[in-house]
């Protein structure tokens, strides 16, 4: 096998072949579903439908890379993660099934139950562990307990909200 420089690969390449098998061109490959696509290495090219590597002995799978969140870009295909429903603020668990482009932006396609969603990197997060969920619940409860004495100073909703605001409590977007 050759040394493939994966830093030069299209972001959604799943395989590569470089080594001159049967005098064939060096190519990036991606497999989506049962369909193969090919992109010639060293060219400003695009994905073309292809019959696949056809028995190339120099075919290598892309090394797996741990995805820990949007700072790593899009979650890879087959990654279990969550996408934000921007209408409700709810995080929906699913599995990434493909990558694509929306105008000039890369997007991941995720299947959540029976729905398909598309999103940019900042709209995804890793699935939280039970410990993370419990820590967030504890943090929420502690914040509520801290606000109760402040809120008790008000006689009606507006006074309660004013007291909380005056005490420095602010809404933050997540």
Domain, as residue range, for 157: 130-166
In a domain, residue 57? The reply is yes
101 or 74: whose pLDDT is higher?
74
Cross-sheet strand order for the sheet of 15-17:
48-50, 35-40, 27-32, 15-17, 59-61
- pLDDT tens, 21-78? 666 778 888 888 778 888 888 777 788 887 777 766 777 888 777 888 999 889 988 8
Q: What is the domain count for the chain?
A: 3
**Statement to judge: residues 103 and 74 lie in one domain:** yes
**Statement to judge: residues 85 and 115 lie in one domain:** yes
By the 8 A CB rule, do 126 and 67 touch? yes
**Statement to judge: residues 87 and 119 lie in one domain:** yes
In a domain, residue 147? The reply is yes
Residue 1 has pLDDT above 60, yes or no: no
Stated pTM of the model: 0.52
Q: Average pLDDT, whole number, for the chain?
A: 83
Long-range Cβ contacts of 38-44 (<8 Å, 24+ apart): 39/10, 39/13, 41/8, 41/16
d(CA 174, CA 160): 24
**Statement to judge: residues 11 and 50 lie in one domain:** yes
In a domain, residue 1? The reply is no
The pLDDT value given to residue 43: 79
């Amino acid at each position: 096998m050759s040394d493939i420089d994966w830093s030069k690969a299209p972001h959604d390449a799943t395989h590569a072949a470089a080594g001159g098998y049967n005098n064939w061109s060096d190519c990036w490959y991606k497999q989506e579903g049962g369909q193969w696509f090919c992109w010639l290495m060293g060219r400003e090219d695009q994905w073309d439908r292809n019959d696949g590597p056809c028995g190339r002995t120099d075919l290598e799978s892309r090394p797996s890379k741990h995805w820990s969140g949007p700072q790593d870009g899009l979650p890879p295909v087959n990654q279990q993660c969550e996408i934000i429903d921007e209408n409700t603020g709810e995080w929906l668990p699913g599995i990434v099934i493909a990558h694509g482009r929306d105008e000039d932006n890369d997007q991941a396609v995720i299947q959540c139950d029976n729905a398909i969603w598309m999103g940019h990197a900042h709209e995804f997060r890793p699935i939280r562990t039970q410990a993370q969920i419990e820590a967030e619940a504890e943090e929420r409860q502690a914040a509520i307990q801290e606000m109760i004495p402040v809120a008790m100073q008000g006689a009606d909703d507006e006074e309660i909200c004013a007291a909380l605001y005056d005490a420095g409590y602010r809404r933050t977007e997540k």
